[in-house]
Structure 1
């Protein structure tokens, strides 16, 4: 019975294929829709996604910060009184207006030393405003892997702090560090994000 069913099915398939009309002489057969390949199907580079505060720095930098007794506070920018990757009021106004951003703060308990690294998505208008703010604020411009670096050291009566801002094609990585070197934080975060 099974052989008969297979033979009947095979006969039906052959009969149907015999009914397929032959192309007219001189006619070019058209390709089936499934055979066409779209030229716009080229792969695109994945967009940069913002890290969380647990993965913003390399394990080596995290170990170094913890060895100094520093602790991660996470994102405290919404609480006011700091928590941004800058101490400059004009630069902070630009940074705080960018919705796609993460801000990660570390402190050294019982001291005035603390740091924040912010990573924010960057558009042309923000870039233009930032470059003008850096120029007006006395930041020193240089190049770094992945983009342009703007740095400053500020010594006041009771505090010394540094800032380091890396502008890439897509993101702004900003660090402010009271009694520390902000460029270490910025460049480490950039290496994690852009690798």
Structure 2
């Protein structure tokens, strides 16, 4: 798997966790603990590609659906864990960085989530970018405290946070971003290590 440096601790990028709904998307300060509110369905939970999803640059073409971004083995593994794919009640986003969220709203992207409202979840956006956009994303991640490193012909940046919710439930969460060729794989996770997950997506996409 990628062996990127990780930044441990609470940062302004990683905000409060909603254990009953995978994450909280509202802005909080680093000192605030996660709440237990359950999120409601929102447009962000729509797994369909954006209207520009059919556009491509030199490199990969954006897949039509989430099943196409995983190898059969990874897809089977996630399904066997009992994590539902694209539960509409999950509003967990692939990043809590405001600038990067703006990119995900405007660039060709496909959102995929695993899990139901609860204490375990993964959300990934596969996004088509050009060289200038990729460079800007990498700069934003590095300046935001992510540990970044060159891996497999691309860049992987990651960050991790451990804490305790208001209900005294320990949690671990983080983000991993991979940039290779014309693809950006942004993943946010809660209480679910990403062993081999991002690598599998890149290999399946041929990035």
> Residues 66-111 of structure 1: CA distance to partner in whole angstroms, max 9, x if unpaired?
222111117x6xx9943x322333322222221x11111111x462
Q: What's the counterpart of residue 164 of structure 1?
A: 176
1:187 matched to 2:187: no
CA contact (8 A) 1:148 1:168 kept: yes
TM-score by length of 2: 0.61
Q: What's the counterpart of residue 21 of structure 1?
A: none
1:48 matched to 2:57: no
In 2, Cα distance between the equivalents of 1:137 and 1:156?
19
Change (3 A) 1:66 1:135: same
> Residues 95-152 of structure 1: CA distance to partner in whole angstroms, max 9, x if unpaired?
2221x11111111x46221111111111234223212221122111112224111111
1:90 pairs with one of 99, 105, 128: 99
CA contact (8 A) 2:69 2:204 kept: yes
Structure 1's unaligned 5+ residue stretches are: 1-45
1:175 pairs with one of 163, 187, 194: 187
Larger Rg: 1
- Give the deviation of 1:47 after TM superposition: 4.2
Q: Secondary structure at the match of 2:68?
A: coil
Q: What's the counterpart of residue 31 of structure 2?
A: none
1:62 matched to 2:75: yes
The aligned length equals 144
- Give the deviation of 1:160 after TM superposition: 2.1
Change (3 A) 1:156 1:97: farther
Q: What's the counterpart of residue 102 of structure 1?
A: 110
Structure 2's unaligned 5+ residue stretches are: 1-57, 166-170
Q: Secondary structure at the match of 1:50?
A: coil
Change (3 A) 1:131 1:183: farther
Q: What's the counterpart of residue 127 of structure 1?
A: 134
- Give the deviation of 1:172 after TM superposition: 0.6
- Give the deviation of 1:183 after TM superposition: 5.7
1:71 matched to 2:80: no
In 1, Cα distance between the equivalents of 2:72 and 2:185?
18
Aligned-residue Cα RMSD (Å) equals 2.4
Change (3 A) 1:122 1:183: farther
CA contact (8 A) 1:162 1:180 kept: no
